[in-house]
Structure 1
Amino acid sequence: MIIGMPNRRLLVNLAAVTVAGLLIFSIALSSSHATLRDLPRKNLHKDYDLPTAPPLLIGFTRTYPVLLQAVVSYITAGWPPSQIYLQNFFLSLTYAHDWPYYFWSHMDVLALSYEDGRDGLTPPYTDPAYKSLYALCLTALRDARASGKKWATRFFAYDHLALVNPAAFEDVGGWDTLIPYYLTDCDMHSRLTMKGWTMEDAKAGIITDVASALGDLRALYRVEGVEVEWVDPNPPPKKTEEELREEERKKEEAERKKKEEEERKRKWWSWGKKRALGGAEGVVQGAEEVEKRDVPPVKEARDDDVNLARWNALREASDQMFRHKHGDRERNTWQLGQHGGEGEPFYYKPAGLAEALDLITETGREVYRRKWGHRDCALISGAGLKFDDAWRVEKDW
């Protein structure tokens, strides 16, 4: 597999994001008004019989404010800053660092621990036995290792946050890099299932799909006096009437394709989950749906519980940000919003980058169709295909 190594500018950008996140962390930590309940204890991973602390790898493309928010939200949800990496060639890093397992996350998310408590997972934050998002992720990893199953992944809100067993990915040949975007998850997850690897859901916290950012990230540290407000860092530019009509036409077509694709994923994931559970029915969330209310809270916020009130304000803000992203604008328009850098080395026009990625995405879909002779995710339940059928079947439509 060819792995694209980062160029010098990319490494500088990685360092800038990491330093910025740690700077916000140190400023909030020094504030006498910050309440940091989820600061991880040193070597917490050893409590879960893990010889190595599993890293969190955050894949990213564009829009710095959203990326920085994802990093800070994971830090305030208990993840050790030293174990958060911003890279896009994950599997190769497991070889370089001898990581037996790793977690990975989308960059366009906001992460919160279950500070109000969840039955069967964690008591409220006031209880000494409380577990942060990070601690619950380690719990899921420990349970997966102890299950005796041939396991590949654990999904926390589909793959917005996921635990990966690299041995499973190696067994099926890794990601198909010729299907770089949409449908690549269908390809990978189908191949894992074909080879007998299991994929199951787990709960660790509230992982919300967002396209906007909090106005002041110190709100995640509960710094007194900082309001929980969010802003759209990528407001849509004004357009002519002709552009608006064309945009509406493209939006309707994109929404139609998205719904069709999501429905295929739901059917595939429902089948895979039913199979993993030995035929038991399960409620399945699509990749676009970040379900976080299926585990009821242990308690409601008391009027005098200022800390939990701040957490509830963050949860409500994340809900608003989710609805904003999935509202009347296309879900991924946030990727077009960040501009700047013109005249600098390696500059690429944002509109051109977006159009180029759309072309690559459609090419990946065509590769998938030719590889499997099938157009949707139901390679097993719908097409009855096996692992060795790749590139050996005629199209079925």
Structure 2
Amino acid sequence: MGPEAGDDRWVIAFYSYDWLTVVNVSPLALVGQWDVFIPYYATDCDWYHRAHMAGLKLLVEDVGLIFDMSASLGEPEKLLFGDGGDGIKPNSTKFQELIVALEAKGRVGTGPDPPGYPDRFFWQTEIMGGWGEPWTYNPDGLTRAYKAMGSAGRIIFSAKWGLPEASCELFREKIKAQREAWSFP
């Protein structure tokens, strides 16, 4: 599993999109930190492309099934290991039933959210308990704040790189060197 031994020019390996990520710490200094002034996903775009400009590889590995779950599963041991405790054989009927049960509760992590799929953090709007406790946040307010921060991130990313819109693809095509950051009117 993972990048080839001896190849130290990689910085991140993604498994099932970005739901599981392995980081090669040594080359991080070539890229620097995530830009703290760019909130949410736009900062990922910024950092990944700066890593690319530094000559580092961002690897995408397709292994296993990783699910984004919005709720817990009842009796996960029974689902995963069956009644006998020997485990479920891949491609068996029981395995297919498990996949259906997991897909009903979550989504397989194979890429960005498809059009029409609820926001990745939509489950937070379903949590209604804990009012008055110090760690709670109004779920509707959380959703509004999250979307506002994401929008602000796209605006700041666009300003940093002189792009008409926050587009990772456009960034890849137009920006060639890190020194171009903040050099636009």
Q: Does 1:317 align with 2:179?
A: no
Name the CA distance, whole Å, in 1 between partners of 2:115 and 2:31. Answer: 37
Distance 1:161 1:350 in 2: 26
> Identity over aligned residues, as a percent?
31
CA contact (8 A) 1:222 1:310 kept: no
Residue 128 (structure 2) aligned to one of 318, 339, 358: 339
Secondary structure of 1:340's aligned partner:
coil
2:160 paired with 1:371? yes
Deviations 1:70-92 (A, max 9, x none): xxxxxxxxxxxxxxxxxxxxxxx
TM-score (norm 1): 0.39
Q: Could you say which residue in structure 2 is the equivalent of 1:209? A: 68
SS at match of 1:162: strand
User: Quick check: 1:175–1:184 contact (8 Å CA) kept in 2?
Assistant: yes
Quote the Cα distance in structure 1 between the aligned partners of 2:147 and 2:174. Answer: 27
- Mapped partners of 2:58, 2:34: distance in 1: 16
Q: CA deviation at 1:161?
A: 1.0
Alpha carbons 2:49, 2:172 under 8 Å: kept: no
CA distance in 2, matches of 1:197, 1:328: 34
Hey, what's the Cα distance between the residues in 2 that align with 1:214 and 1:346? 24
After superposition, the Cα gap between the structure-2 partners of 1:354 and 1:183, relative to the gap in structure 1 and judged at 3 Å, is: same
For residue 44 of structure 2, the aligned residue among 185, 190, 197 is 185
Aligned match of 2:17 in 140, 158, 164?
A: 158
One-letter code of the match for 1:322?
R
Looking at structure 1, the residues matched to 57 and 183 of structure 2 have their Cα atoms a distance apart, in angstroms, of 25
Relative contact order higher in (CA < 8 Å, ≥ 6 apart): 2
In 2, the alpha carbon distance for the partners of 1:203 and 1:370 equals 34
Work out whether residues 161 and 175 of structure 2, in 8 Å CA contact, stay in contact via their aligned partners in 1.
no
Which runs of no fewer than 5 residues in structure 2 stay unpaired? none
| CA apart distance, 1:156 | 0.9
The 8 Å contact of residues 39 and 152 in structure 2, kept in 1 or not, is answered as no
SS of alignment partner, residue 200 of structure 1: strand
CA distance in structure 2 between the aligned counterparts of 1:170 and 1:340, rounded to whole angstroms: 43
Could you list the structure 1 runs, at least 4 aligned residues long, displaced by more than 4 angstroms after superposition. Answer: 325-329
Per-residue CA deviation, residues 329-384 of structure 1 (Å, 9 max, x unaligned), is: 62332221112111222432222222222222211111101111112113554213
Secondary structure (helix, strand or coil) at the match of 1:218 reads helix
- In the alignment, does 2:38 pair up with 1:176? no
Offset at 1:193?
0.4
Distance 1:223 1:316 in 2: 15
In the superposition, relative to structure 1, how do residues 196 and 329 fare at CA in structure 2: closer, same or farther (>3 Å)? Answer: closer
| Distance in 1 between residues matched to 2:150 and 2:56, nearest whole Å | 27
The 5 Å alignment of 1:1-397 reads: 139-141=1-3, 143=4, 145-146=5-6, 148-224=7-83, 301=91, 308-320=92-104, 321-322=106-107, 330-332=118-120, 333-374=122-163, 375=165, 376-378=167-169, 381-394=172-185
Q: Which AA in structure 2 matches 1:185?
A: D
Q: String of CA shifts for 1:25-60, please: whole Å, max 9, x gaps.
A: xxxxxxxxxxxxxxxxxxxxxxxxxxxxxxxxxxxx
Larger Rg over CA atoms: 1
Mind listing any 5+ residue stretches in structure 1 that lack a counterpart?
1-138, 226-298, 302-307
Residue pair 1:156, 1:201 contacting (<8 A) in 2 also: yes
> TM-score, normalising length from structure 2?
0.78
